[in-house]
Structure 1
Amino acid sequence: MNEIVALHARFTLAMAPMPSAAAQSEACKRGSARFDEFVSQVERRVQSGTSLLQETLDRLSARGSKGDFGVGASDVSASFAKPSMPDEASSHPAAAPEGGTESALQDGTISRDKRLGQILDAIESRSFRQRSGRTIDQTGTSISRAPAFTLFAFLAKNRSLLLRVFLPFVAAYYLSFLFRTINATMSETLTSEFGLSAGDLGLLTSVYFLTFAIAQIPIGILLDRYGPRRIQSTLLLAVAVGAALFAVADNFPLLLAGRAVIGLGVAAALTAGLKALVIWFPKERVPLLNGVMIMLGALGAVTATLPADALLAAVGWRMIFELSAVLAACCAAVIYFVVPEASVASVVSGPTALGLRTIYSDCRFWRLAPLSAGCIGTAWALQGLWAAPWLADVEALDRPTVMRHLFIMAIALSLAALLMGLAADRLRRRGVDPKVALGVVGAVFILVQMALIVRLPLPSYFAWAVVASYRANASPLP
């Protein structure tokens, strides 16, 4: 029914035959006034909290002295009465000037769109409350409350999509976190076996992020054109090749090449998952699902600490990467054969939907990008490699204690991802701008880093947990 109404509205508003040039001015005036009347009726309906159908039935059932159709008949008719039209173009803010249809439609659009946006926000908020089990009387007052809409209820209702879409992309993101963080655990072993300097170790870790960053824009275009299923499954095969190359490497250049291919392969791990969520799940649940996906994917960072250290002692680092290559290949097969193909309408054709020039010339992008990129990049660098040397060299901690710190950081990242998703969902429903939350979290992150630099007596586990937690801010809030 929603689709039928939407198609009817689009045909009525956008596809009706154009009137003659002489009649365009009057048509624009009538259309503008009719639209404003429609907005006013929607606003009154939202404020009353009752449906048009129910109101009509109530009125028709109330028999009175106004004829066979009851007391409400004239009122119902009046509610659908033709709105009065202005006599002159200047009497209405959106009336058509002499310049023609285009200029007529532009006048008054900003203020009217703002008003309509506020009404739509109210409708969305009411819809969410009703889905949550809250009953609203005709005055808009809550008269009863059922059990709140919970994450578990949503998961139960969408079991099939969660198994066929959500979990396969979560598995890919898990591998991304595993490879991103594993060098911090293996740095000592790789340094001793290959005679790496601090610069070599830093290059080995950063080449992952270098290829990862270079591939982002092309992969974004490919995701828009071909969808997340094909792109993610293809790139995961590159992860398998890179992990296998890293496992058999006997010199530093081969290690570097393997790590670079891995970075290229996991470049779509987050964006493909987000794209899949946008395609397959309700948009009001996407921020929460973003947080859940990052939380589960961050378990890869957890695996890269104490569990990986135990596995390193048992089977060696080469076997770890061989197993990772097999896991990546299996994940690629699952995504390709299990995830359904996105509909044509869900995939934007080519990069023209929102060009790079549009993005980079938007002042809103430049207000957010430096803070977000700087903080997230710092958090990745610290947890991915440099936290371990700092803890060992500056804090003079032994290896078991260092690994416990990395483990706590990974746990903090995982939990913070879920909390960020819940916070983004709650803030959106309360009308709080996510940019505010982004700024607050970024400020806390910077202050904690300054505390570490000047050696303030903060609990070490707490400070590094806050540093790791900022990585969870990468998706739900922006």
Structure 2
Amino acid sequence: MRLTRDRQGSALVIWGVALSAYLLAVFHRSSLAVAGLEAADRFGISAAQLATFTTVQLIVYAGMQIPVGLALDRFGPRRLLLIGAVVMTVGQLSFAFIDSYAGALGARVLVGAGDAMTFTCVLRLIATWFPARRVPLVTQLTGATGQVGTVLAALPMTWAFMNLGWTTTYLAAAGLGLVVTVMAAVVIRDEPGAWRRRGPAISLASVRRDLGDSWSHPGTRLGFWTHFTTQFSATTLALLWGFPFFVRGEGRSPHEAGVLLTLLTISLVIAGPLLAMVTSWRPYHRSDLVMGIVLTIAAAWTAVLVWPGDAPTWLLVMLVVVVGIGGPASVIGFEYGREFNPDARLGAAIGIINQGGFYASLILVVAIGLVLDWRTPTGSDYTAEAFRWAMSAQYVLWALGLANIWRARRRTRRHVAAVPETGTAAT
């Protein structure tokens, strides 16, 4: 059924406000990236302990994806989006004043919990308010535009820490959360003609059925491994280790490191719509595109890590541009989830898929911290050699992910050939 002009306008307004909520979630998620060295000094912690901030945040985010997906199918996106915005605001407000390591970990738990409720809700609103032919493009635009939150957590946050201090910077971040929460409460509706949408009651049997049915389809697993393999390199740089890597590992100034992280985000923003157009033109080769992107990312990292001494600026620029493409490439995984699952369990499928990249990022963040501590003498700063060892942990994850993408693709195509009504062969 064709959208009326009024509904088209409502869809754009609702999407715009939901997009601002996601942008803020990315900002909160990334706000520690340029504060890693300040956090180490403030709390007197090691590299492994610093990595624990992001580790805890990612554990909470990834661990909540399935519960959030199930709750989304039951209660609708509006309610969960509002709860997520409030929880993140409380987390940032707490982080502004806490000066103990344990308390700061608790604040990051709140940030991770609120963040976990946001993107999934935005995807559900897109699927409800826009016609199916536009959903891939709007989804990519959402993922790309939302990454501007990382820009706001790079250069402006670097300036704020230097000129305003820790407490004022995080108070300002919490204030932004209040503004977005009010906007979402006033504007967002679950579906045309209804502020709230309620699905079937949740029971243990329904949970087992929805999760089992979603995961049993190889198309959902193809989405999971697509998200797992493409996202972690960009996420790890943006969330924690990019700034220390460029400053300590490649001898760049804090300003140069901030510029490189900004270029990473610009790459994300530009690549998203381009990938949406490519996958629309060639839907039967999406997994080929995904695997090609992963191999290109691995090649760019190899060039940087084997370069004798500090890598030249042009090579670091190439690295962040190529790595940035992995962010929107991970969104292709959600296309598989939407394509191979009915609306009643779409939230569960999205939750399963959205775990992938964050579990991979979690593993990598921890691995980098452990390797840095292992390769750095006690009491010394992290060395370029230590960072080369640490960043090499990515190759294990790329190999695992590519192998499972290949396997899931073959199974998906066999499944669709046998049961055509469950999806298309456009993998």
| Structure holding more helix per residue | 2
Q: How does 1:104-183 map to 2 (within 5 A)?
A: 158-163=8-13, 165-183=14-32
Q: Does 1:314 align with 2:163?
A: yes
Matches within 5 A, 1:211-222: 211-222=60-71
Secondary structure in structure 2 of the residue aligned to 1:475 = helix
Are residues 1:402 and 2:257 paired?
yes
Higher mean displacement: 466-475 or 288-297: 466-475
Distance 1:437 1:350, change over 3 A: farther
Q: Does the C-alpha gap of structure 1 residues 461 and 350 become closer, same or farther in structure 2, counting only changes over 3 Å? A: farther
Pair 404,237 (structure 1): closer, same or farther in 2 beyond 3 Å: same
Question: Cα gap change, 1:365/1:278 in structure 2, threshold over 3 Å: closer, same or farther?
Answer: closer
Contact 1:212–1:264 (CA under 8 A) maintained in structure 2: yes
Match of 2:318 in 1: 462
Q: Which amino acid aligns with 1:438?
A: V
- 2:233 is aligned, of 378, 383, 408, to 378
How far apart are the structure 2 equivalents of 1:310 and 1:286?
A: 37
Distance 2:33 2:307 in 1: 22
1:278 and 2:127 aligned? yes
Cα 1:453–1:347 change in 2 (3 A) is farther
Question: Is the partner of 2:302 in helix, strand or coil?
Answer: helix
Match 1:186 to one of 5, 11, 35? 35
1:443 has 2:299 as partner: no
Percent of aligned pairs sharing the same letter: 23
Higher Cα radius of gyration:
1
Map Cα deviations across residues 318-375 of structure 1 (whole Å, 9 max, x no partner): 2222122222233222222211242689764356496111233333344453353133
Counterpart of 1:387 in 2: which secondary structure?
helix
Secondary structure of the 2:116 match is coil
Contact 1:279 1:346 in 2 (8 A): no
Cα distance change on mapping 1:414 and 1:174 into 2, 3 Å: same
Counterpart among 160, 183, 200 of residue 349 in structure 1 = 200
Query: Which consecutive unaligned segments of at least 5 residues does structure 1 have?
Result: 4-130, 132-153
Q: Distance in 2 between matches of 1:200 and 1:336?
A: 37
Residue 417 (1) aligns with residue 417 (2): no
1:339 is matched with 188
Cα separation, 2, equivalents of 1:324 and 1:261? 14
- Secondary structure of the corresponding residue to residue 32 of structure 2: helix
Contact 1:246–1:255 (8 Å) recurs in 2: yes
Give aligned pairs, total. Answer: 324
TM-score w.r.t. the length of structure 2 is 0.70
Partner of 1:266: 115
Residue 388 of structure 1 pairs with residue 240 of structure 2: no
Cα drift, residue 172 of structure 1? 1.2
TM-score (norm 1): 0.63
3-state SS of the aligned residue for 1:158?
Answer: helix
In the alignment, is the contact (CA less than 8 A) between 2:293 and 2:325 conserved in 1? Answer: no
* Structure showing greater relative contact order (alpha-carbon pairs closer than 8 Å, 6 or more residues apart): 2
CA distance in 2, matches of 1:411, 1:440: 21
Q: Residue 285 of structure 1 contacts residue 425 of structure 1 at CA under 8 Å; is this kept in 2?
A: no
Provide the C-alpha distance between the structure 2 equivalents of 1:446 and 1:369, rounded to a whole number of angstroms. 20
- Do the aligned partners of 1:288 and 1:424 also contact (CA within 8 Å) in 2? no
